[in-house]
Structures are given as C-alpha cells and as structure tokens.
Amino acid sequence: MGCLLSASCGGSGSDASSPTAPTNPNNTNFTGTWTGTLTRPTGLAPISVRWVGTQGDAGVLSGPFSMTYNGVTIQASFDGQFGGGQSNGQIDPPMIFFRISLAVGASSVSPSCSIVSNGIISGFATAATSLTSSTFDISYNTCQGFIAPDVNRTQHVETTQLTMNKQ
C-alpha cells in the first residue's frame, strides 16, 4: 500500500526531492468504464475484468473492479495513485501504482475470500484508451467457488498482467 501513497516508489529516475506524488501526468482522465482481462498461467483461461473508474483532483484513482471467471463474478476494488520520476516538470515515464483488493466478507459469492495485489501501469498517453500493466502477483485467499486454492493451502498466488480498454 505504501507505493500507492508515495512518489518514492517510482524506481530509477524518481525525484526524491518531490514531497508528493504527481497529481495528473499528461492531463490524463481515466474516469469511465474499462474492460479487459487478467492473464492466468499457461493453460488457464483469463479472468474478465470491468473497472468503473473515478479520478480525483489529486490523481487518486478508484472504483469497483468486477472479476469474472468460469461464470462467477467477484466484486473487488481498484485503487491507484499517479507516480514516476520528474523531468522538466513532466512525469517521466508516467506511472500508476495500483492495488486490486477484496476484504474477507465483502463477497456474497465467496464470503471467506480475500484478494490482494499491487501492480504498475506505465507509459500511457494523454488520451489513453488502452492500459497494460507490468506483470505482478495476485493472491487469492480462501476463494473457493472463484479461484480454487492450491492443494493443502488456503492461498493461491498467480503472476498476472492486467490489460484494459476504455469503453
């Protein structure tokens, strides 16, 4: 969660002297409905996603994040924050540090289920209509009925990539 709240998570090229995260690189607007997929390991079908995004004045992104797999839909949330290094007053490259999450008890489909992940989307344009993240890990905890846990464990972790298109 620290990356969502700190500009220092930008990696190489970050300007450590900047006390706050960039508020809106390239005057982007991610408000609206986005649909796409979370990839799954080889041989497994992707998870369909739908994000109804809102964007606050301070560059905070949020909104409900529906995940559908094998006909089962889980309602999670998507929260993000702009970040990246500073170069001549511009974000270089522009990034979104995001989190997909679901708290235990929040899903009537799988009440014991919790989901957590942190990822990065970078290199988007001013009028972006397509977003693709770097690969990241997503953890499904006790999500029977949606993503089965690993044998002898309640947790299932996958390396995934998020791709979304604005509708």
Q: What is the pLDDT of residues 90-123, one digit of tens each?
A: 546 778 999 999 999 999 999 999 999 999 998 7
The answer for residues whose C-beta is within 8 angstroms of residue 17's C-beta and 6 or more apart is none
What is the predicted pLDDT for the residue at 37? 98
Q: Percent of the chain having pLDDT more than 90?
A: 56
Higher pLDDT, 131 or 24: 131
Instruction: Tell me the C-alpha to C-alpha distance, in Å, between residue 44 and each of 39, 158, 160.
Output: 8, 11, 11
Say if pTM beats, i.e. exceeds, 0.85: no
**129-147 pLDDT per residue, tens:** 999 999 999 999 999 889 9
**Options 3.90.120, 3.40.630, 2.40.128, 3.40.50; which CATH number does 2-7+31-40+47-103+116-136+162-166 get?**
2.40.128
DSSP string, 19-83: -S--S-GGG----EEEEEEE--STTSPPEEEEEEEEE-TTSEEEEEEEEEETTEEEEEEEEEEEE
Q: Is the pLDDT of residue 14 over 50?
A: no
The residue among 124 and 147 whose pLDDT is bigger is: 147
